[in-house]
């Protein structure tokens, strides 16, 4: 990303965007044809509307074709999931004895716990602002939609919400519910494959041309006053990979944090962020292998977390001088694989939020 302190000549268009919570002003330089931009936007909107129309009609289409209009995912031993095209997204504990026969939610055993994570039933089918096409340099990746209407969460007092990512992957022979995971308390990410919408022009790569772009940081009062940590307020445990675990022994209710002693020249660099996330994942795996982290007290007091446990753990990472770098989510699956990812939804990290399928 280029930085320019003076106004470049020949500017035809500009845009603001946020990258890792930092706001930037970016300017296209050169002969950007505004008619090309308008035509591209018009084509995108038309393709989006036609794709959403197909999506909303799939429930009826599947019923007429005697297909399962409710997709199931049961890889977890604890929770199972159901995604109904014109109904609800449901988290449930067990199947009833009719599994494989019905084409609706009667597969869910009503005598066991179940929760609605989101509902299509009251959705505005003409509201296209709730959809967003996420792309990378190779073309479209997925169409994203967020829906509410879920059951009230006892921890937040609000309805459960789900963000659905409609992906295109030709390796699957038919519609498939790929995964469901809780990304924060009572907020879920649903990955689904529906071949009918993948034939839409929306998912075809659009021709692009390179343009020169100059970006300047837009400073705000918040960005000029970074959050600082008093390093002396926590006990530091070396984990390797230049990462330390910070524990406040005087206040056990304070979430543990991570601290790196690496010099960070530019935290807005995606390469540096990915490097730090990799360091954190490897350091956390090292922490677990050495039995240095206990189960949450409300689960199994006194027992260490092992590579056989699955969990979701949120924390903050700080740099030299106590500067807050970013917040992250660390996950371990049932096979012991540990990964770390960036989170920036504004919710404060609180360490364990899920352990072995149980919400904390």
Neighbour order of strands in the sheet with 161-167:
131-136, 139-147, 161-167, 187-193, 176-184
Query: Which stretch, 3-12, 41-50, 147-156, has highest mean pLDDT?
Result: 147-156
291 CB-contact burial (10 Å; exposed 0-12 / middle 13-18 / buried 19+): exposed
Read off the pLDDT of each residue in 296-315 and give the average, rounded to a whole number.
77
On the question of pLDDT at 233 being above 60, the answer is yes
CATH of domain 231-359: 3.10.310.60
CA distance 212 to 13: 11
pTM for this model (two decimals):
0.50
Please write the tens of the pLDDT for every residue from 168-210. 876 777 888 888 888 888 899 999 998 888 888 887 755 555 5
CATH of domain 37-203: 2.70.130.10
Please write the tens of the pLDDT for every residue from 277-294. 889 999 988 888 888 777
Count Cα neighbours of 244 within 13 Å in the Cβ-side half-sphere. Answer: 17
Neighbour order of strands in the sheet with 114-119:
70-73, 80-84, 88-92, 114-119
Read off the pLDDT of each residue in 163-169 and give the average, rounded to a whole number.
86
Residue 117 pLDDT level (bands cut at 50, 70, 90): very high
145 dihedral zone (left: phi>0; alpha: psi -120 to 50; beta): beta
Query: Which residues face 216 on adjacent strands?
Result: 25
Q: What is the pLDDT of residue 315?
A: 92
On the question of pLDDT at 12 being above 70, the answer is no
CA distance 76 to 91: 11
On the question of pLDDT at 359 being above 90, the answer is no
Say yes or no: do domains 37-203 and 231-359 share a fold: no
CA distance 106 to 84: 12
Domain ranges of the chain: 1-32+211-225, 37-203, 231-359
On the question of pLDDT at 104 being above 60, the answer is no
Residue 38 pLDDT level (bands cut at 50, 70, 90): very low
Please write the tens of the pLDDT for every residue from 52-84. 888 888 888 887 887 777 888 875 567 888 898
Q: What is the pLDDT of residue 35?
A: 47
CB 316, CB 257: distance < 8 Å: yes
Please write the tens of the pLDDT for every residue from 124-161. 877 787 888 876 555 567 888 989 999 998 888 899 99
On the question of pLDDT at 36 being above 70, the answer is no
Q: What is the pLDDT of residue 290?
A: 80
């Amino acid at each position: 990303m280029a930085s320019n302190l003076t106004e470049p000549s020949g500017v035809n268009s500009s845009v603001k965007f946020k990258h890792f919570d930092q706001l930037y002003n970016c300017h296209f330089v050169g002969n950007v044809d505004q008619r090309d931009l308008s035509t591209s936007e018009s084509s995108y909107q038309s393709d989006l509307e036609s794709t959403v129309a197909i999506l909303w009609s799939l429930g009826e289409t599947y019923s007429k074709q005697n297909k399962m209009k409710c997709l199931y995912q049961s890889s977890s031993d604890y929770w199972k999931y159901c995604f109904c095209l014109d109904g609800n997204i449901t988290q449930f504990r067990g199947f009833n004895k009719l599994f494989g026969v019905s084409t609706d939610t009667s597969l869910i055993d009503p005598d066991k716990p179940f929760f609605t994570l989101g509902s299509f039933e009251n959705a505005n089918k003409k509201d296209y602002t709730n959809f967003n096409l996420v792309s990378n340099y190779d073309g479209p990746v997925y169409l994203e939609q967020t829906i509410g209407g879920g059951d009230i969460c006892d921890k937040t007092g609000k309805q459960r919400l789900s963000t659905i990512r409609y992906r295109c992957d030709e390796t699957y022979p038919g519609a498939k519910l790929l995964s469901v995971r809780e990304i924060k308390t009572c907020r879920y990410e649903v990955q689904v494959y529906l071949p009918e919408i993948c034939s839409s022009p929306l998912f075809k790569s659009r021709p692009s041309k390179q343009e020169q772009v100059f970006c300047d940081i837009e400073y705000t009062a918040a960005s000029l006053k970074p959050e600082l940590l008093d390093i002396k307020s926590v006990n530091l445990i070396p984990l390797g990979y230049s990462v330390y675990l910070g524990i406040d022994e005087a206040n056990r209710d304070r979430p543990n944090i991570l601290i790196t002693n690496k010099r960070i020249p530019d935290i807005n660099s995606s390469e540096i962020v990915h490097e730090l996330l990799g360091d954190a994942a490897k350091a956390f795996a090292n922490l677990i292998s050495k039995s240095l982290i206990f189960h949450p007290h409300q689960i199994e007091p006194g027992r260490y977390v092992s590579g056989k446990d699955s969990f979701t753990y949120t924390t903050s990472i700080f740099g030299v001088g106590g500067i807050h770098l970013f917040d992250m989510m660390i996950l371990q699956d049932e096979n012991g694989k540990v990964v770390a990812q960036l989170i920036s939804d504004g919710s404060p990290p609180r360490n364990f939020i899920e352990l072995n399928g149980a919400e904390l």
